[in-house]
Amino acid sequence: MNALLKRVWFGLAATLIVSLAAVALPDHIQIEDDGRIHLGAPAPTPSPSTAAPTPESTAPPLTRDAVDEVIRTAVAAAGLDPAQGHPSVAADANSKRTGWTAVREKATAPSEMNAICADLERQGWTLNPNPQGDRPDASRSYKRGGWYLLVSTRGKTQAPSTTSDLTDSQSSLNLTGIQLNLSDIPLPEITVRIG
Q: What is the pLDDT along the chain (195 residues), one digit of tens a residue?
A: 677 767 766 666 666 665 665 555 666 666 565 656 655 555 455 444 444 443 444 557 889 999 999 999 999 999 999 998 888 877 666 788 999 999 999 999 999 999 999 999 999 999 987 655 556 677 899 999 899 999 999 876 554 555 457 888 999 999 999 998 655 555 556 666 665
In a domain, 177, yes or no: yes
Q: Are residues 127 and 70 in the same domain?
A: yes
Q: Are residues 27 and 89 in the same domain?
A: no
Domain, as residue range, for 101: 64-182
Helix, strand, or coil (residue 141) = strand
Other CB atoms within 10 A of residue 151 CB: 24
Q: Which of 80, 121, 82 is nearest to 98 (CA)?
A: 82
Q: Are residues 33 and 72 in the same domain?
A: no
In a domain, 54, yes or no: no
In a domain, 78, yes or no: yes
In a domain, 110, yes or no: yes
Give the CATH number, domain containing residue 89.
3.30.310
Question: Looking at the DSSP assignment, which residues form a beta bridge with residue 175?
Answer: 100, 151
User: How many structural domains are present in the chain?
Assistant: 2
Q: Are residues 11 and 70 in the same domain?
A: no
Q: Are residues 114 and 177 in the same domain?
A: yes
Is the CB of residue 17 less than 8 Å from the CB of residue 187? no
In a domain, 102, yes or no: yes
- The Cα 17–Cα 98 span in angstroms is 27
Amino acid at 109: A
In a domain, 59, yes or no: no
Q: Are residues 35 and 109 in the same domain?
A: no
- The Cα 83–Cα 175 span in angstroms is 14
